[in-house]
């Protein structure tokens, strides 16, 4: 049995050699930094008065706004991210579980990881950052966002579907490994009876033995009976083409030349290390955008904040505290979900 499991040490994702190498170097540098640097202080989310004034003034006059959301957006909702240092689930580095090869080797293990993540996301509630961004999209119809999150919390915060594009899929979408079948918005928990757990069991605890689930009891395609898989983007897989096209269309102003300018970009809860997400910051800037970054982590040489220039903003702290304050002039007071 043990020989069928993925390696527990980080292994290089299966990507084209040059891209894999670049991502691996960045990942290694990030890990090294986390080991060698002291843990970030839990200082309160503070906004300097001059930043507040310049940001809110610019926001008011902005019409074309691009958003880029990452895991930090959902941090206040208590969603485990399984990224970077500490990105382990049980004894497995999550980077080795979120791969096509891990799934083909041991679909029951990978499915149980995703079943746990679905369960966590369903128990979580959208936080004030999700709600504030959803309200902003209602007040500013040309505020369009790219979300790297798969937890569905923007959707549950009633973020207008026309104003957001996910790029890493969804925990609540599944697709067939053989045919073209896709199901969306399946919020059943557990997805199949074999994933049911007693109430007091935490499947993240390596002490708790995982079930040895036969493949026939895993989620199956209703069309062809083959294995279903989570409809998420794994390491080594490309972003869905329709997502990329929709984002590119918005950036290009939908063919309207006078709409090709972007006034502002809101980068929320992501270090944006992963391309092409990081590339969107450059794209927005090339179209005139000023960049505002909201993140817990201090600027690093690789993060988007390091690429900040005069006229940009870095707001350090929890997005669920920062965004309601900074967007209040447009959206009013954000109530709890
Ligand atoms: Zn099928």
- Tokens 């919020």 belong to residue: 187
246 conformational bin, left if phi > 0, alpha if psi -120 to 50, beta if neither: alpha
Residue 296 lies in a domain: yes
Q: Which two tokens stand for residue 48?
A: 């300097």
Residue 26 lies in a domain: no
Residues 281 and 336 in one domain: yes
pTM of the predicted model as reported, rounded to 2 decimal places: 0.83
Provide the strand spans (E) within the chain.
Answer: 65-69, 88-89, 92-93, 143-147, 164-166, 169-176, 182-183, 228-232, 264-268, 290-295, 313-316
CATH number at residue 260: 3.40.50.1220
Tell me whether residue 176 is annotated as binding: yes
Q: What is the pLDDT of residue 9?
A: 39
Residues 227 and 320 in one domain: no
How many whole angstroms from 229 Cα to the centroid of ligand 1?
10
Tell me whether residue 224 is annotated as binding: yes
Task: State how far the Cα of 170 lies from the Cα of 152, in Å rounded to an integer.
Answer: 7
Q: What is the pLDDT of residue 88?
A: 82
Residues 335 and 258 in one domain: yes
How many whole angstroms from 298 Cα to the centroid of ligand 1?
45
Tell me whether residue 120 is annotated as binding: no
Range of the domain at 64: 44-78+126-168+239-337
Closest CA to 330 of 104, 148, 59: 59
How many whole angstroms from 248 Cα to the centroid of ligand 1?
30
Where among 232, 256, 279 does a domain terminate?
A: 232
Q: What is the pLDDT of residue 95?
A: 83
How many whole angstroms from 220 Cα to the centroid of ligand 1?
8
Q: What is the pLDDT of residue 89?
A: 84
**DSSP calls for 52-120:** HHHHHHHHHH--SEEEEE-GGGGGGGT-----STT-EETTEEHHHHSSHHHHHH-HHHHHHHHHHHHHH
Tell me whether residue 154 is annotated as binding: no
Catalytic pick among 58, 130, 159, 168: 168
> Tens-digit pLDDT profile for the chain (337 aa)?
334 444 333 343 445 556 655 555 565 555 444 443 434 445 567 899 999 999 999 999 999 999 999 999 998 998 877 765 557 888 888 888 999 999 999 999 999 999 999 999 999 999 999 999 999 999 999 999 999 999 999 999 999 999 999 999 999 999 999 999 999 999 999 999 999 988 778 888 888 888 889 999 999 999 999 999 999 999 899 999 999 999 999 999 977 767 789 999 999 998 766 666 678 988 999 999 999 999 987 666 665 555 678 899 999 999 999 999 999 999 999 988 7
Q: Let me know if 159 is a catalytic residue.
A: no
Residues 132 and 265 in one domain: yes
Q: What is the pLDDT of residue 333?
A: 94
How many whole angstroms from 274 Cα to the centroid of ligand 1?
31
Give how many domains the chain has, as a whole number.
2
């Amino acid at each position: 049995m043990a020989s069928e499991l993925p390696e527990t040490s980080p292994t290089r994702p299966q990507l084209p050699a040059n891209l894999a190498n670049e991502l691996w170097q960045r990942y290694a540098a990030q890990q090294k930094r986390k080991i060698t640097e002291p843990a970030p202080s839990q200082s309160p989310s503070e906004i300097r008065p001059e930043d507040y004034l310049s940001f809110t003034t610019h926001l008011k006059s902005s019409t074309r706004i691009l958003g880029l959301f990452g895991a930090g957006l959902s941090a206040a909702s208590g969603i485990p991210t399984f990224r970077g240092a500490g990105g382990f689930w049980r004894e497995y580095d999550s980077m080795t579980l979120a791969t096509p090869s891990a799934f083909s080797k041991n679909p029951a293990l990978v499915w149980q990881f995703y079943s746990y993540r679905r369960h966590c996301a369903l128990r979580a509630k959208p936080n004030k950052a999700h709600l504030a961004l959803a309200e902003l999209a209602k007040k500013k119809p040309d505020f369009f966002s790219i979300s790297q999150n798969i937890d569905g919390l923007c959707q549950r915060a009633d973020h207008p579907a026309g104003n957001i594009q996910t790029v890493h899929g969804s925990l609540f979408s599944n697709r067939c490994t053989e045919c073209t079948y896709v199901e969306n918005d399946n919020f059943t928990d557990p997805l199949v009876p074999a994933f049911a757990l007693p109430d007091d069991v935490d499947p993240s605890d390596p002490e708790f033995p995982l079930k040895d689930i036969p493949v026939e009891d895993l989620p199956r395609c209703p069309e062809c009976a083959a294995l279903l898989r989570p409809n998420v983007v794994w390491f080594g897989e490309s972003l869905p083409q329709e997502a990329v096209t929709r984002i590119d269309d918005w950036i290009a102003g939908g063919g309207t030349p006078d709409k090709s300018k972007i006034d502002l970009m809101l980068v929320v809860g992501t270090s944006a290390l992963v391309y092409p997400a990081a590339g969107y910051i450059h794209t927005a800037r090339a179209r005139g955008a000023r960049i505002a970054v909201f993140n817990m982590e201090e600027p690093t040489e690789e993060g988007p904040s390091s690429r900040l220039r005069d006229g940009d903003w870095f707001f350090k702290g929890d997005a669920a505290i920062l965004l309601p304050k900074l967007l209040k002039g447009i959206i009013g007071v954000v109530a709890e979900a």
